[in-house]
Structure formats: structure tokens, C-alpha cells
Amino acid sequence: MTGNVEALLREALAPVDPPLRLTELESRLTALAEAAQDELDSWELAAMRDPRNWVRPLVAAGVTVTAGTALVALRVRGRQQTRRKQSSTLIEYAERTLHDIAEEARRVLPDR
């Protein structure tokens, strides 16, 4: 009976490749973040005097933050198993996770 439970657990906890939908989601989030960054880069500060011109930059900033955060979370989550195997303690695991989050944030927003 013990061998059967171990085999069932091993099968249930086996690593799997991410579904194709996650890869597609990552590419869409990347495209959204880049488009929003381009929109923000194209705005001139002089045009911001009129409050009617604030909508597009505010939406672009919101899209950048939302898509960028989701992209970082998706990528960091994808490497969770690797970090867990490399870490011997919970503190080391937390440090590796924070480092990974910072690295991904730099990749998503390289010019910021």
C-alpha cells in the first residue's frame, strides 16, 4: 500500500510543461507592455498642461503597470520549482525569489 501511495504522489507531483495558453499569454502581455511604453514615450510634457490630454497617458501607465506586473508574476512563478530545488532553507528561497522578481522587473521595464 505504501508503494502505491508513493507512486500516486510521484505521478501527481511530476513537473509539467506550461500549457501553450500561458506562452501565448506571456507574448500578449509583453506586446501590451511594450505598446503602452511606446505610447508613454511619445507624449510631450507640454501637452500635459491641459487635463483633457491626461487620459491617454494615464491609461498607458495603467496598462504598463498591470501588464508588467502580470508578466513578472508569470515568469517568476514559472521558475518556482528551480528556485526551490536550489535553496536549502526558506530564507534562501525567499532571497532567490526576491532577486528573481527584481531581475524580471528590470527586463520588463529596462529603461525605467
Q: What is the pLDDT of residues 21-79, one digit of tens each?
A: 777 888 888 888 888 888 777 777 667 777 777 887 888 888 888 888 888 888 888 88
Q: Is the pTM here over 0.85, yes or no? A: no
Give 76-102 pLDDT, tens digit per residue. 888 888 888 888 888 988 898 999 989
The total of other beta-carbon atoms located within 10 Å of residue 97's CB is: 17
**8 A C-beta contact, residue 76 and residue 86:** no
DSSP SS3 for 111: coil
Cell 510634457 sits at which residue? 45
Domain ranges within the chain, ordered by starting residue: 19-108
Rounded distance between C-alpha atoms, residue 11 and residue 16, angstroms: 11
